[in-house]
A and B are shown apart, each in its own frame.
Chain A
Amino acid sequence: MFPADFAYVRPRTLDEALDLLDEAHAADQEAKLIAGGQSLLPMMKLRLAAPQVLIDIADLPELRGGGWMGWAAGGGFGGSLGALSTYRQLGRHALLTGGVIRGRTENVTPHHAEGIPAVTDVLTVLADPQVRARGTIGGAVAHGDPASDLPAVLLALDAELHIAFRKGRHPESHLGPYIPRRRSRAEKPSNIGRREITLDDFLQGVYTTDLAEDEIITRITIRHRGGAVSAYEKFPHPASHLPLAGVAVVLTYKAGRLTDSDGHVTDLADGSIAHAAIAVTGISPRPYRARAAEALLKDAFPTEETVAAAAAQVTTESPGSANRVSLLGDQHASAGYRAHLAEVLTRRALAKAIARGGRNS
């Protein structure tokens, strides 16, 4: 099977890539970015996609590597992942999946990183080793696939996307002049515009995201709270391995002491949950945060009853709402069955995360 005919180009810099996008749109040509190509090429071979120009961004240095923003109090950290990071590279990053972290110089003492178990979980059940060697984190979010594993875990980790675009679009661009929709960074002496957006705002619907046709995702940042426990559980389609439903959870327990004005000391580390993040994929037009279920876990103790009560609300649209999220069904699994799977998987993921223990549990 061949893709439909297209023209290919591999720019060496972000600047060049943005120019190519701009030129293609000015010429009214459909251009697509390709990185690992593990979603795009199969779609092109099936002629579900037939871009006229393919811009290979694999060589853009700005989209590579993991720059780490360092350590927050309590052992948490923030990480910035290049959009070109492959699943395989993420799976070998000690800060994400646990292991020994060594400094660039010998003055930095190597230390053991706990990793983020939900990341390890998702990277072992996602696609297969060969696909994980090529598929990228940027592609995973840009594709907007409703049945995609990684975005659920990234949503639960409060991921933000960094996006670059050409300031002062081509005069003939059908996209018109650029009007910032969200905050953009301080101006730098270049004509590359930058903006940041949460993954939650970025994902919109089936194969639909906030990414404009002339924009490139450069980096993805995640935040991990110290002492957090996490897990990802999925029910894979037996042939495609895609999730019929998948649930990521990240829990943080209360920690520390509170001293009031009378000098009374309250130990906050009573084993109750300070913060819960639950993200669901595979059952709705886009992966979503289950805010109603999260609200039931906040300040609660991680008992079997609490877990079951929260899981029962995992398809509720928002806290206190009587509406369900919009559900997808197809020939593989009905909407009702997918919703049922989401509830069961939420229970399993919460139980797994809780069993993994926390600093204060």
Chain B
Amino acid sequence: MPAARELPVRVTVNGVPRTATVAARTLLVHFLRDHLRLTGTHVGCDTTQCGACTVALDGVAVKSCTVLAAQADGHEVTTIEGLAPDQADGLHPIQRAFKEEHALQCGYCTPGMVMAVRQLIEDHPDPTREQVRHALAGNICRCTGYQNIVAAALRAARAAATDAAAEREG
């Protein structure tokens, strides 16, 4: 296989296999936004700092402005749009917690924050406040001062624990 400036990529996005021929230098975030029109994933700083572009790649939160679409070829991506396919109100429990705790003002950083919190709760189902703050080290919010985002993450973790307990009891 020779090196190519343009190449076909096949990425399973939110459970659906998607294919496109892209320039090799296409970033995953632009593949999602421009080719697939999934604009929930935002471009913030574009320099791997702000985390607004956070998506899950093979189930792990990454910054999609710092991954090539070509690197994601053959892999699975979950974006903010794919987080709550089965919820009646269209909201994932983390999104509901953000709403209830008023964890956003302008909302630009929110998709990335939610995707980072998803990773936190997967890694630490019962996180401490400090663990929440560490987990959000790669996400910048210029409005809220983070207090309500931390509260929302803690609320979402409690909700997930309650749901899991209810499921166990059948």
Partner-contacting stretch, out of B43-51, B103-111, B143-151: B43-51
Cβ of B2: which chain A residues have Cβ within 8 Å of it? 7, 9
Q: How far is the CA of A20 from the CA of B27 in the complex (A)?
A: 23
A302 within 8 A of B: no
Interface: B11 (CB within 8 A): no
Interface 1/0s, chain A 30-61, versus B by CB < 8 A? Answer: 00001001100110011000000111101000
Contact among A10, A124, A131, A241 for B70, CB-based, below 8 A: A10
Check A124 against B47 for contact (C-beta < 8 Å): no
Q: Are A34 and B24 in touch, CB under 8 angstroms?
A: no
CA distance A5 to B22 in the complex (A): 12
Assess whether A9 is in contact with B5, with CB atoms less than 8 Å apart: no
CB <8 Å contact, B137 and A37: no
Contact check, A130 vs B62: say whether CB atoms are below 8 A apart: yes
Nearest B residue to A86 via CB reads B60
Q: Considering only CB atoms, which chain B residue lies closest to A92 in the complex?
A: B123
A54: chain B residues within 8 A (beta carbon): 3, 24, 68
B162 near A: Cβ within 8 Å?
no
Q: How many residues of B contact A (CB 8 A)?
A: 35
Q: Which of B24, B47, B135, B139 contacts A45 (CB 8 A)?
A: B47
- Let me know if A129 and B119 touch, CB within 8 A: yes
A186 at the interface (CB under 8 A from B): no
Contacting residues, chain A, for B61 (C-beta < 8 A): 129-130, 133
- Report the separation of the CA atoms of residues A88 and B7 in the bound assembly, to the nearest whole angstrom: 29
The complex places the Cα of A2 from the Cα of B54 at a distance, in Å, of: 18
Cβ distance A241 to chain B, nearest Cβ, rounded Å = 7
Q: Assess the B137–A241 pair: CB atoms within 8 A.
A: yes
Residues of chain A contacted by B60 (CB below 8 angstroms): 88, 133
A3 interface residue (CB < 8 Å to B): yes
In the docked arrangement, what's the CA distance between A130 and B138, Å? 7
The CA-CA distance from A243 to B29 in the complex, in Å, is 28
Q: Which residue in B5, B54, B57, B138 is a CB contact (below 8 Å) of A7?
A: B5
Asked if A84 lies at the interface with its beta carbon under 8 angstroms from chain B, I say: no
CA distance A215 to B138 in the complex (A): 32
Complex CA gap A88/B135 in Å reads 12
Minimum C-beta distance from B154 to chain A (A): 17
* Contact of A55 with B46 at beta-carbon distance under 8 Å, contacts A3-B25, A129-B135 already known: no
B92 at the interface (CB under 8 A from A): no
> Which residues of A110-169 have CB atoms within 8 Å of chain B's CB atoms?
124, 127-131, 133-134
Q: How far apart are the CA atoms of A8 and B7 in the complex, in Å? A: 8
Pair A131/B48 contact, Cβ less than 8 Å: yes
Q: Is B3 touching A9 in the complex (CB atoms < 8 A)?
A: yes
B168 within 8 A of A: no
Given known A42-B47, A45-B47, A134-B66, contact A37–B138 (CB-CB < 8 A): no
CB proximity of B76 to chain A, nearest CB, Å: 14
Is residue B134 contacting chain A, with contact meaning CB distance below 8 A?
A: yes
A129-B135, A131-B63, A133-B60 as given contacts; A55 in contact with B3, CB under 8 Å: yes
* Interface contact A11-B5, CB-CB below 8 Å: no
A1 at the interface (CB under 8 A from B): yes
Chain B positions within 8 Å of A, measured between CB atoms, are 1-5, 7, 23-25, 27, 46-49, 51, 54, 57, 60-63, 66-68, 70-71, 73, 116, 119-120, 134-135, 137-139
A-B pairs, top 8 by smallest CB distance, nearest first, are A128-B138, A7-B3, A8-B24, A9-B3, A128-B137, A130-B63, A130-B138, A3-B25
Apart from the given pairs A10-B1, A53-B3, 5 other A-B contacts in the complex at a CB distance below 8 Å: A38-B48, A54-B24, A56-B71, A88-B60, A128-B51
